[in-house]
Structure 1
Amino acid sequence: MKYTVLYDGSCGFCNFWVKWILQRDKAGSFDFASLQGEFGRNFLRKNGLPEEDWDTLYLLGDDNKFWRKSSAIIRICQVLGGIYSLANLGKILPLFIRDKWYDVVARNRKKWMGEYCYLPTAEEKGRFLD
Protein backbone atom coordinates (compact mmCIF):
# COMPACT_ATOMS: atom_id res chain seq x y z
CA MET A 1 0.00 0.00 0.00
CA LYS A 2 1.10 3.56 -0.70
CA TYR A 3 0.51 6.44 1.75
CA THR A 4 0.57 10.22 1.61
CA VAL A 5 1.70 12.22 4.63
CA LEU A 6 -0.08 15.59 4.79
CA TYR A 7 1.70 18.10 7.00
CA ASP A 8 2.16 21.82 7.71
CA GLY A 9 4.69 22.82 5.06
CA SER A 10 5.79 25.97 6.90
CA CYS A 11 6.55 24.26 10.22
CA GLY A 12 10.14 23.42 11.12
CA PHE A 13 9.00 20.65 13.47
CA CYS A 14 6.84 19.06 10.75
CA ASN A 15 9.58 19.37 8.15
CA PHE A 16 12.04 17.70 10.54
CA TRP A 17 9.70 14.70 10.79
CA VAL A 18 9.15 14.58 7.02
CA LYS A 19 12.91 14.30 6.60
CA TRP A 20 13.02 11.69 9.40
CA ILE A 21 10.42 9.55 7.59
CA LEU A 22 12.20 9.93 4.24
CA GLN A 23 15.47 8.69 5.73
CA ARG A 24 13.81 5.56 7.15
CA ASP A 25 11.34 4.73 4.37
CA LYS A 26 13.50 2.29 2.42
CA ALA A 27 10.45 0.77 0.71
CA GLY A 28 9.22 4.11 -0.65
CA SER A 29 5.84 3.67 1.03
CA PHE A 30 5.29 7.38 1.67
CA ASP A 31 4.68 10.40 -0.51
CA PHE A 32 4.28 13.86 0.99
CA ALA A 33 2.07 16.90 0.50
CA SER A 34 1.80 20.09 2.48
CA LEU A 35 -1.65 20.99 3.75
CA GLN A 36 -1.18 24.43 2.19
CA GLY A 37 -0.68 23.01 -1.31
CA GLU A 38 -3.32 22.07 -3.86
CA PHE A 39 -3.33 18.37 -2.96
CA GLY A 40 -3.59 19.15 0.77
CA ARG A 41 -6.35 21.70 0.36
CA ASN A 42 -8.33 19.33 -1.88
CA PHE A 43 -7.95 16.57 0.73
CA LEU A 44 -9.23 18.86 3.51
CA ARG A 45 -12.14 20.15 1.42
CA LYS A 46 -13.16 16.67 0.20
CA ASN A 47 -13.26 15.36 3.77
CA GLY A 48 -15.06 18.37 5.27
CA LEU A 49 -12.03 19.32 7.39
CA PRO A 50 -11.06 22.90 8.29
CA GLU A 51 -8.96 24.26 5.41
CA GLU A 52 -6.94 26.68 7.53
CA ASP A 53 -6.18 24.30 10.40
CA TRP A 54 -2.68 23.03 9.69
CA ASP A 55 -2.06 21.77 13.24
CA THR A 56 -3.05 18.23 12.32
CA LEU A 57 -0.92 15.60 10.62
CA TYR A 58 -2.90 13.34 8.31
CA LEU A 59 -1.92 10.06 6.71
CA LEU A 60 -3.89 9.07 3.63
CA GLY A 61 -3.86 5.50 2.31
CA ASP A 62 -4.31 4.75 -1.37
CA ASP A 63 -7.66 3.21 -0.38
CA ASN A 64 -8.75 6.74 0.74
CA LYS A 65 -8.77 5.72 4.41
CA PHE A 66 -7.04 8.33 6.53
CA TRP A 67 -5.61 8.65 10.01
CA ARG A 68 -5.05 11.86 11.96
CA LYS A 69 -2.90 13.12 14.83
CA SER A 70 -1.51 10.37 17.09
CA SER A 71 -3.18 7.61 15.03
CA ALA A 72 -1.33 8.85 11.93
CA ILE A 73 1.98 8.78 13.80
CA ILE A 74 1.38 5.24 15.04
CA ARG A 75 0.39 4.06 11.55
CA ILE A 76 3.49 5.67 10.00
CA CYS A 77 5.66 3.81 12.52
CA GLN A 78 3.85 0.52 11.79
CA VAL A 79 4.50 0.93 8.07
CA LEU A 80 8.17 1.74 8.68
CA GLY A 81 8.35 -1.50 10.65
CA GLY A 82 11.18 -2.83 12.76
CA ILE A 83 11.81 -1.06 16.04
CA TYR A 84 9.35 1.70 15.01
CA SER A 85 6.50 -0.81 15.25
CA LEU A 86 6.79 -0.45 19.01
CA ALA A 87 4.86 2.80 18.62
CA ASN A 88 1.84 0.50 18.34
CA LEU A 89 2.06 0.23 22.14
CA GLY A 90 0.76 3.80 22.18
CA LYS A 91 -2.67 2.34 21.45
CA ILE A 92 -2.76 1.23 25.08
CA LEU A 93 -3.61 4.84 25.88
CA PRO A 94 -7.11 6.02 25.00
CA LEU A 95 -7.27 8.11 21.83
CA PHE A 96 -8.41 11.24 23.67
CA ILE A 97 -5.27 11.13 25.86
CA ARG A 98 -2.91 10.47 22.92
CA ASP A 99 -4.48 13.29 20.93
CA LYS A 100 -4.41 15.65 23.93
CA TRP A 101 -0.60 15.20 24.03
CA TYR A 102 -0.48 15.60 20.26
CA ASP A 103 -2.39 18.91 20.56
CA VAL A 104 0.07 20.25 23.17
CA VAL A 105 2.97 19.55 20.80
CA ALA A 106 1.05 20.97 17.82
CA ARG A 107 0.34 24.24 19.67
CA ASN A 108 4.00 24.70 20.59
CA ARG A 109 5.83 23.24 17.60
CA LYS A 110 6.63 26.53 15.87
CA LYS A 111 7.93 28.03 19.12
CA TRP A 112 10.23 25.05 19.55
CA MET A 113 11.57 24.70 16.02
CA GLY A 114 10.50 27.77 14.04
CA GLU A 115 9.35 27.88 10.47
CA TYR A 116 11.19 26.58 7.45
CA CYS A 117 10.51 24.52 4.38
CA TYR A 118 12.39 21.30 3.72
CA LEU A 119 13.98 21.22 0.30
CA PRO A 120 13.97 17.64 -0.97
CA THR A 121 16.96 16.18 -2.78
CA ALA A 122 16.67 15.39 -6.48
CA GLU A 123 15.88 11.75 -5.62
CA GLU A 124 13.18 12.77 -3.13
CA LYS A 125 11.40 15.35 -5.32
CA GLY A 126 9.20 12.75 -6.99
CA ARG A 127 7.72 11.84 -3.61
CA PHE A 128 6.35 15.35 -3.02
CA LEU A 129 2.96 15.86 -4.66
CA ASP A 130 3.06 19.66 -4.80
Structure 2
Amino acid sequence: MREAHGAVIVFDGACVLCNGWVAFLLRHDRTGRYRFAAMQSEAGRDLLAGHGLDPDDPASFLLLEYDTGPTPRAFTDTDAIRRVLVGLGGGWRLAHGIALLPRGLRDTAYRWLARNRYRWFGRHAACAVPAPEHRQRFL
Protein backbone atom coordinates (compact mmCIF):
# COMPACT_ATOMS: atom_id res chain seq x y z
CA MET A 1 0.00 0.00 0.00
CA ARG A 2 1.59 3.26 -1.13
CA GLU A 3 0.41 6.69 -0.01
CA ALA A 4 1.50 9.70 -2.07
CA HIS A 5 2.22 11.79 1.01
CA GLY A 6 1.46 12.07 4.67
CA ALA A 7 1.45 9.27 7.17
CA VAL A 8 -0.56 6.26 8.27
CA ILE A 9 -1.07 5.30 11.90
CA VAL A 10 -1.94 1.69 12.67
CA PHE A 11 -3.76 1.54 16.01
CA ASP A 12 -5.78 -0.90 18.12
CA GLY A 13 -9.37 -0.25 17.08
CA ALA A 14 -10.80 -2.12 20.10
CA CYS A 15 -8.87 -0.07 22.68
CA VAL A 16 -10.72 2.84 24.32
CA LEU A 17 -7.44 4.70 24.98
CA CYS A 18 -6.27 4.19 21.37
CA ASN A 19 -9.59 5.43 19.99
CA GLY A 20 -9.23 8.49 22.22
CA TRP A 21 -5.75 9.04 20.73
CA VAL A 22 -7.23 8.89 17.21
CA ALA A 23 -10.02 11.32 18.18
CA PHE A 24 -7.36 13.69 19.60
CA LEU A 25 -5.41 13.50 16.35
CA LEU A 26 -8.50 14.10 14.22
CA ARG A 27 -9.16 17.29 16.24
CA HIS A 28 -5.58 18.59 16.13
CA ASP A 29 -4.39 17.45 12.70
CA ARG A 30 -5.55 20.56 10.85
CA THR A 31 -3.73 19.65 7.61
CA GLY A 32 -5.11 16.11 7.34
CA ARG A 33 -1.61 14.62 7.37
CA TYR A 34 -2.60 11.45 9.21
CA ARG A 35 -4.66 8.55 7.97
CA PHE A 36 -5.60 5.63 10.18
CA ALA A 37 -5.87 1.86 9.97
CA ALA A 38 -7.23 -0.27 12.80
CA MET A 39 -4.94 -3.23 13.41
CA GLN A 40 -8.02 -5.44 13.22
CA SER A 41 -8.69 -4.39 9.61
CA GLU A 42 -7.17 -6.12 6.60
CA ALA A 43 -5.16 -2.98 5.76
CA GLY A 44 -3.88 -2.66 9.35
CA ARG A 45 -2.90 -6.34 9.56
CA ASP A 46 -1.08 -6.14 6.22
CA LEU A 47 0.83 -3.01 7.26
CA LEU A 48 1.87 -4.53 10.60
CA ALA A 49 2.97 -7.82 9.07
CA GLY A 50 4.76 -6.01 6.26
CA HIS A 51 6.88 -4.16 8.82
CA GLY A 52 7.75 -7.15 10.97
CA LEU A 53 5.10 -6.63 13.68
CA ASP A 54 2.67 -9.25 14.91
CA PRO A 55 -0.84 -8.32 13.71
CA ASP A 56 -2.28 -10.24 16.66
CA ASP A 57 -0.29 -8.27 19.27
CA PRO A 58 -2.50 -5.39 20.39
CA ALA A 59 0.52 -3.64 21.90
CA SER A 60 1.76 -2.79 18.40
CA PHE A 61 1.69 0.87 17.36
CA LEU A 62 3.03 1.70 13.93
CA LEU A 63 3.58 5.01 12.15
CA LEU A 64 4.44 4.99 8.45
CA GLU A 65 5.67 8.26 6.96
CA TYR A 66 5.23 8.33 3.19
CA ASP A 67 6.58 11.78 2.39
CA THR A 68 10.23 10.98 3.12
CA GLY A 69 11.09 9.09 -0.08
CA PRO A 70 9.99 6.26 -2.37
CA THR A 71 9.37 3.85 0.51
CA PRO A 72 7.76 4.68 3.84
CA ARG A 73 9.80 5.12 6.99
CA ALA A 74 8.41 3.04 9.85
CA PHE A 75 8.42 4.01 13.52
CA THR A 76 7.08 2.17 16.56
CA ASP A 77 6.40 2.81 20.23
CA THR A 78 7.57 6.13 21.68
CA ASP A 79 9.50 7.11 18.55
CA ALA A 80 6.20 6.86 16.65
CA ILE A 81 4.30 8.84 19.29
CA ARG A 82 6.94 11.58 19.29
CA ARG A 83 6.92 11.85 15.49
CA VAL A 84 3.11 11.97 15.38
CA LEU A 85 2.99 14.81 17.91
CA VAL A 86 5.77 16.74 16.18
CA GLY A 87 3.95 16.24 12.87
CA LEU A 88 1.01 18.24 14.23
CA GLY A 89 3.24 21.32 14.08
CA GLY A 90 3.05 24.41 16.26
CA GLY A 91 3.69 23.90 19.95
CA TRP A 92 3.49 20.14 19.48
CA ARG A 93 7.04 20.31 18.12
CA LEU A 94 8.16 20.44 21.74
CA ALA A 95 7.50 16.69 21.79
CA HIS A 96 11.00 16.35 20.32
CA GLY A 97 12.02 16.57 23.98
CA ILE A 98 10.76 13.01 24.48
CA ALA A 99 13.96 11.89 22.74
CA LEU A 100 15.96 13.22 25.69
CA LEU A 101 14.83 10.21 27.72
CA PRO A 102 16.65 6.96 26.95
CA ARG A 103 14.66 4.89 24.47
CA GLY A 104 14.84 1.79 26.66
CA LEU A 105 13.23 3.67 29.55
CA ARG A 106 10.48 5.33 27.54
CA ASP A 107 9.67 2.19 25.51
CA THR A 108 9.51 0.12 28.69
CA ALA A 109 6.99 2.60 30.11
CA TYR A 110 5.05 2.50 26.82
CA ARG A 111 4.92 -1.32 26.86
CA TRP A 112 3.74 -1.31 30.49
CA LEU A 113 0.89 1.06 29.56
CA ALA A 114 0.09 -0.99 26.45
CA ARG A 115 -0.13 -4.23 28.47
CA ASN A 116 -2.53 -2.66 30.98
CA ARG A 117 -4.62 -0.32 28.82
CA TYR A 118 -7.65 -2.62 28.49
CA ARG A 119 -7.82 -3.03 32.25
CA TRP A 120 -7.38 0.68 32.98
CA PHE A 121 -9.29 2.29 30.11
CA GLY A 122 -11.55 -0.43 28.71
CA ARG A 123 -12.12 -2.24 25.47
CA HIS A 124 -14.79 -1.94 22.78
CA ALA A 125 -16.48 -5.11 21.58
CA ALA A 126 -15.82 -4.00 17.98
CA CYS A 127 -13.91 -1.28 16.17
CA ALA A 128 -15.68 2.07 16.14
CA VAL A 129 -17.13 3.32 12.86
CA PRO A 130 -15.66 6.70 11.90
CA ALA A 131 -17.96 9.70 11.59
CA PRO A 132 -18.93 10.45 7.98
CA GLU A 133 -16.69 13.54 7.88
CA HIS A 134 -13.65 11.42 8.80
CA ARG A 135 -14.28 8.25 6.76
CA GLN A 136 -11.83 9.21 4.02
CA ARG A 137 -9.05 9.31 6.65
CA PHE A 138 -9.44 5.60 7.48
CA LEU A 139 -8.03 2.77 5.37
Query: Paired residue for 2:61?
Result: 57
Superposition pairs for residues 36-51 of structure 1, below 5 Å? 36-51=40-55
Residue of 84, 88, 100 corresponding to 2:96: 88
Residue of 66, 76, 84 corresponding to 2:84: 76
How far is the alpha carbon of 1:106 from its aligned partner?
Answer: 0.5
* Distance (whole Å) between structure 2 residues aligned to residue 47 and residue 128 of structure 1: 19
Contact in 2 for aligned 1:74/1:88 (Cα 8 Å): yes
Quick check: 1:114 aligned with 2:118?
A: no
* Distance (whole Å) between structure 2 residues aligned to residue 35 and residue 98 of structure 1: 23
Identity of aligned residues (%): 36
How far is the alpha carbon of 1:122 from its aligned partner?
Answer: 1.0
* Distance (whole Å) between structure 2 residues aligned to residue 66 and residue 112 of structure 1: 28
Structure 2 SS opposite 1:33: strand
Higher relative contact order (CA 8 A, sep 6+): 1
How far is the alpha carbon of 1:110 from its aligned partner?
Answer: 0.9
Structure 1 SS opposite 2:132: coil
Query: Paired residue for 2:135?
Result: 125
Q: Counterpart of 2:63 in structure 1: which amino acid?
A: L
TM-score computed with the length of structure 2 as normaliser: 0.87
- Compare 47-56 and 14-23 and name the one that shifted more: 47-56
Q: Counterpart of 1:118 in structure 2: which amino acid?
A: A
* Distance (whole Å) between structure 1 residues aligned to residue 46 and residue 65 of structure 2: 15
How far is the alpha carbon of 1:119 from its aligned partner?
Answer: 3.2
Quick check: 1:28 aligned with 2:32?
A: yes
Runs of 4+ in 1 over 4 A off after TM superposition: none
TM-score computed with the length of structure 1 as normaliser: 0.93
Tell me the C-alpha RMSD between the 2 structures: 1.2
Contact in 1 for aligned 2:54/2:60 (Cα 8 Å): no
Query: Paired residue for 2:12?
Result: 8
How far is the alpha carbon of 1:40 from its aligned partner?
Answer: 1.2
Contact in 1 for aligned 2:48/2:55 (Cα 8 Å): yes
User: Tell me, which stretches of 5 or more residues in structure 1 are unaligned?
Assistant: none
Structure 1 SS opposite 2:75: strand
